[in-house]
Amino acid sequence: MAVNVTGKYFYWRGRLAIGLCVLSTSLLPLQLNADSYPSLSCTEAFDQSASTTAHEWLVSSVYAGHCFEFQARAVSIDTVGVRTLALSHRVRDGIRQQVVQQLDGPSVSVERRSIAGHLAWFPPSESGSASPAEAWADHVAGYYEISLEDKTRVAERDAVELRFSPIDNQRYHHAWWIDQATGILLKHVLSDTQGRVLETFQITQLQSPTAYSGDVPIPSDEKMLDQSWQVAWLPDGFVEQPLEPGQQSGQRVYSDGLAAVSVFVSPASQPALQEGLHQIGVSTAAVSLVDVGDQSWQLVGVGELPADLLQRIVQSVQFE
């Protein structure tokens, strides 16, 4: 489900199991500095026995995605086909090192390094006391009905199942299976608005997950990119995300907590991408060409949203 042409999907979630399968094929800079970020102690994040509600399991999954090191085998099934993967996740000096290797067909290995603790950003509650993980969970609950089933098994591990049903027709359905012992996401199923399964990602073997004993940084300054353009329309609940290390200068990223949309604006070159909608695995790409004065621009939106909504987002781009 990786995408070459536009980077497909920004990697913001603290959910390694999904994220390793949606990595951009372009590597982030290898020299990252986490010193300027405040830290979260991972030693405070591992009491999974205290998680009983959907909200608590959501928060636990965020911590697990940043505070566990592990090796795993996984399978990804979508319209492109079936792929088996080897996954690796480590934390070193506040930097997450993630590697996904495709085990079928040509040998493909992708590495990505990013600052640990870089989460999707959403405004905290009015009390201002919510942690970034709790603010994220609260935001998700505002746009999805979440149901919890606490007795299931995945990859021979006890798990809880969370189902996310959108409260409108502007997003897809999600289902998660979260490891009870660690909070690591073991399985994710994405379905369209008619309930048809678009993608299944599942860890089949989780090898000796180990709690990282150090600290991970949590970005506190929500820096947005300074662009000469903006998106004038978004589905309810989609919030622009802060700059992540390695993000392209002509890119903006928006998220509702589960779904994400990347919008790219660049001078049109020859040959430009063909206008219209393109299916890229489980994602849709909407391409539009516009003229502003003497300059032609190529607008590209990529995300896991219904195609008509993604096209509306791209067509709403306005230049200052």
Higher pLDDT among residues 134 and 317, named by residue: 317
Alpha carbons 277 and 287: distance in angstroms, whole number = 6
Domain boundary among 217, 247, 276: 217
Domain boundary among 195, 217, 239: 217
Most confident range (mean pLDDT) of 11-25, 122-136, 153-167, 246-260 is 153-167
Whether 259 shows a pLDDT value over 60: the answer reads yes
Look up the CATH number of the domain holding residue 308: 3.30.200.100
Asked if 207 and 258 sit in the same domain, the reply is no
Asked if 50 and 169 sit in the same domain, the reply is yes
Look up the CATH number of the domain holding residue 112: 2.50.20.10
DSSP-derived letter for residue 168 is S
Whether 37 shows a pLDDT value over 50: the answer reads no
User: Which residues lie closer than 8 Å to 42 by C-beta, 6 or more apart?
Assistant: 63, 66, 67, 211, 212, 213, 214, 215, 216
pLDDT tens sequence across 183-209 = 999 999 999 989 999 999 999 999 989
pLDDT attached to residue 112: 80
Asked if 114 and 236 sit in the same domain, the reply is no
Q: Dihedral sign, CA of 164, 279, 112, 207? A: positive
- Residue 146: pLDDT band with limits 50, 70, 90: very high
- Residue 128: pLDDT band with limits 50, 70, 90: low
**Percentage of residues in the chain having pLDDT higher than 90:** 46
pLDDT attached to residue 2: 28
Whether 10 shows a pLDDT value over 50: the answer reads no
Residue 223 lies in a domain: no
Q: Average pLDDT of 298-310?
A: 93
- Residue 30: pLDDT band with limits 50, 70, 90: very low
pLDDT attached to residue 236: 95
> Residue 60, CB half-sphere, CA atoms under 13 Å: how many?
25
Higher pLDDT among residues 49 and 250, named by residue: 250
Residue 41, domain extent: 16-217
Which two three-digit tokens encode residue 288?
């539009």
Which two three-digit tokens encode residue 282?
């489980």
Predicted TM-score (pTM) above 0.85: no
Alpha carbons 320 and 314: distance in angstroms, whole number = 16
pLDDT attached to residue 199: 93
Q: Which residues in 53-66 are b (16+ Cβ under 10 Å) and which e?
A: ebbbbbbbbbbbbb
pLDDT attached to residue 3: 27
Into how many domains does the chain fold? 2
Q: Longest C-alpha distance within the chain, in Å?
A: 62
Asked if 171 and 120 sit in the same domain, the reply is yes
Higher pLDDT among residues 211 and 47, named by residue: 211
- What mean pLDDT is reported for the chain? 79
**Percentage of residues in the chain having pLDDT higher than 70:** 73
Alpha carbons 161 and 147: distance in angstroms, whole number = 8
pLDDT attached to residue 25: 27
Residue 34 lies in a domain: yes
Asked if 209 and 303 sit in the same domain, the reply is no
Residue 35 has phi, psi (to 5 degrees) of -65, -30
- Residue 21: pLDDT band with limits 50, 70, 90: very low
Asked if 152 and 297 sit in the same domain, the reply is no
- Residue 116: pLDDT band with limits 50, 70, 90: low
